């Protein structure tokens, strides 16, 4: 009866709708209302977003794989820097892997008491085996050798390689999850991203280099050697990590005397304690900058506060230059990083793309006075996630070396202009927007 009345009303209009057709519309509407669910709609929206992100990432990874298939190894500019005295310590910068590994192996060979070595990635290749052989020889001589590497970072490394360390070497494969109950604890998702070596508590190495032939020959990274009492601080950091997460029946009891040093400070992120001083160190130093900020980082995905600090510095007249790899080993991270460039350029920040090799350095120097070098990237995983370690150094002479290294790295780079960047192709912008939500996971 209701349908007939509606049909009669419609008959008086210009176009009449047959009763059967009207019944079909109403039936469709009733079925849609019955099947409609806000939960289903939300689920479909989320599924659509994830599908778009997955498809975009898959396309980028495929293009990268095709491009890298015929990629030739390229030489990158480098300079030799002399050792610098900073207080009671001697500091030596390394920007080429082969030189660094030679120095590290030399220090290992000179060990008399202890060797502590920690690496996020330890490759099953010539360099990886070389380090193992040198460590085995020292362990056979009675030197205490302790090794830590991250389980997730070495998932693709054959088990045979990881299981073949000399039995005399104390070994820990750090695992984020010690038990099933850790799965529900977000703090347990942190990886051990640190890279360090300490010999006899007197000589130490810290920086961005992992262990592998690829890094020795083809990557542009930065590492630092310290000879002096500051090495005891790095040794203490290693010992604390080992005694906390290592075997309870194999604790390190050796003690190296520490001291306060106003010129060299060690900062370490601790996921379990929810302390992340490296990010705060960056923000405070950037906020104090008056003249220059020269920053090199492999993965530039800063949080809002850190980004605002950089923009504010540029807007008050500081020369802010950010050097990133033009093409890194993580293409998705590159595109997520690109989503920050527009507001950086609009604020007056110089964005420089390193194209000679994979740039993996994590360094910054400010106003020719302050510098930092370590393992932390400027992304959320490093800032408020992984275990990281950075040194903060107050020295004009050391900062001058850091500036020289930055000047060398920025020869022949790509510098973006705001006008060109804003007029990049629409499909490039679309891809960046699709991937931008992933910045909170990087």
119-152 tens-digit pLDDT: 999 999 999 999 999 999 999 999 999 999 999 9
pLDDT at residue number 346: 95
SS3 call for 5: helix
Instruction: Based on DSSP, count helices (H) and strands (E) in the chain, helices before strands.
Output: 16, 18
pTM: 0.83
Q: Is residue 327 a contact partner of residue 334, using CB atoms and an 8 Å limit?
A: yes
Nearest to 112 by CA among 141, 80, 151, 152: 141
Q: Is residue 277 a contact partner of residue 267, using CB atoms and an 8 Å limit?
A: yes
Distance between CA atoms of residues 242 and 231, nearest Å: 17
pLDDT at residue number 330: 73
**From 131-140, 170-179, 349-358, the region with the lowest mean pLDDT:** 170-179
Q: Which CATH superfamily is domain 79-261 in?
A: Endonuclease Chain A (3.30.870.10)
CATH 3.30.870.10 residue ranges for the chain: 79-261, 263-442
Distance between CA atoms of residues 100 and 81, nearest Å: 12
Q: Tokens 């703090």, residue?
A: 187
Q: Which CATH superfamily is domain 263-442 in?
A: Endonuclease Chain A (3.30.870.10)
**From 96-100, 217-221, 271-275, 422-426, the region with the lowest mean pLDDT:** 422-426
């Amino acid at each position: 009866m209701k349908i007939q009345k509606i049909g009669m009303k419609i008959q008086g209009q210009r176009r009449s709708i047959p009763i059967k057709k009207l019944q079909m519309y109403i039936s469709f509407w009733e079925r849609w209302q019955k099947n409609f669910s806000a939960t289903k709609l939300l689920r479909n929206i989320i599924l659509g977003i994830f599908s778009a992100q997955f498809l975009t990432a898959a396309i980028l990874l495929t293009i990268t794989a095709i491009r890298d298939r015929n990629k030739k190894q390229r030489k990158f500019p480098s300079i030799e820097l002399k050792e610098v005295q900073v207080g009671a310590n001697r500091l030596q910068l390394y920007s080429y892997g082969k030189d660094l590994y030679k120095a590290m192996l030399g220090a290992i060979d000179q060990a008399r008491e202890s060797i502590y070595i920690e690496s996020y990635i330890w490759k099953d290749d010539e360099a990886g085996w070389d380090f193992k052989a040198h460590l085995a020889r020292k362990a056979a001589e009675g030197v205490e050798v302790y090794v830590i590497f991250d389980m997730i970072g070495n998932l693709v490394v054959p088990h045979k390689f990881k299981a073949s360390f000399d039995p005399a070497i104390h070994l820990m494969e750090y695992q984020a999850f010690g038990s099933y109950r850790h799965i529900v604890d977000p703090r347990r998702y942190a990886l051990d991203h640190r890279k360090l070596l300490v010999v006899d508590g007197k000589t130490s190495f810290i920086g961005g280099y992992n262990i592998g032939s690829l890094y020795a020959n083809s990557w542009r990274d930065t590492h630092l050697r310290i000879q002096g009492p500051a090495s005891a601080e790095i040794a203490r950091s290693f010992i604390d990590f080992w005694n906390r997460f290592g075997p309870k029946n194999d604790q390190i009891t050796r003690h190296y005397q520490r001291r306060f040093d106003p010129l060299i400070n060690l900062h370490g992120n601790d996921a379990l304690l929810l302390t992340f001083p490296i990010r705060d160190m960056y923000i405070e130093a950037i906020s104090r900058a008056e003249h220059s900020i020269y920053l090199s980082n492999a993965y530039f995905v800063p949080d809002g506060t850190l980004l605002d600090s950089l923009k504010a510095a540029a807007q008050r007249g500081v020369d802010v230059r950010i050097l990133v790899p033009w093409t890194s080993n993580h293409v998705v991270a590159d595109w997520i990083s690109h989503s920050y460039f527009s507001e950086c350029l609009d604020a007056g920040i110089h964005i420089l793309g390193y194209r000679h090799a994979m740039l993996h350095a994590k360094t910054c120097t400010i106003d020719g006075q302050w510098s930092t070098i370590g393992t932390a990237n400027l992304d959320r995983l490093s800032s408020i996630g992984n275990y990281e370690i950075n040194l903060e150094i107050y020295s004009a002479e050391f900062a001058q070396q850091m500036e020289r290294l930055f000047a060398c790295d920025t020869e022949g780079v790509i510098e973006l202009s705001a006008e060109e960047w804003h007029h990049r192709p629409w499909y490039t912008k679309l891809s960046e927007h699709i991937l931008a939500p992933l910045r909170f996971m990087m």
